[in-house]
Amino acid sequence: MRRTSLILLLLLAACQRTAGPDQAEDRTNVPSASGLERAAIESGVIADAGKISPVGLFQRSHEAGRDLLCIAPVRDGTLRFGLEAIFGAEQHCHGQGSARRAGDKLILRFDAADQCIIVAQYDGDQVALPGVVDMKCADLCDGRGSLEGVSFPRIAGQAGPALAARDRAGEPLCGPD
Tens of pLDDT along 151-162? Answer: 999 999 999 999
Domain end call among 35, 50, 65: 50
Print the domain residue range for 131. Answer: 52-164
0.75 exceeded by pTM: no
Same domain, 6 and 79: no
What is residue 135's three-state secondary structure? helix
In whole angstroms, what is the distance from residue 9 CA to residue 16 CA?
A: 11
Same domain, 31 and 78: no
Number of domains in the chain: 2
For the chain, report the end-to-end CA distance as a whole number of angstroms: 62
- Looking at the domain assignment, is residue 127 inside a domain? yes
- Looking at the domain assignment, is residue 33 inside a domain? yes
pLDDT tens digits for range 94-130 = 999 999 999 889 999 999 767 899 999 999 899 999 9
The one-letter amino acid code at 37 reads E
Q: Residue 70 in contact with residue 154, Cβ under 8 Å?
A: no
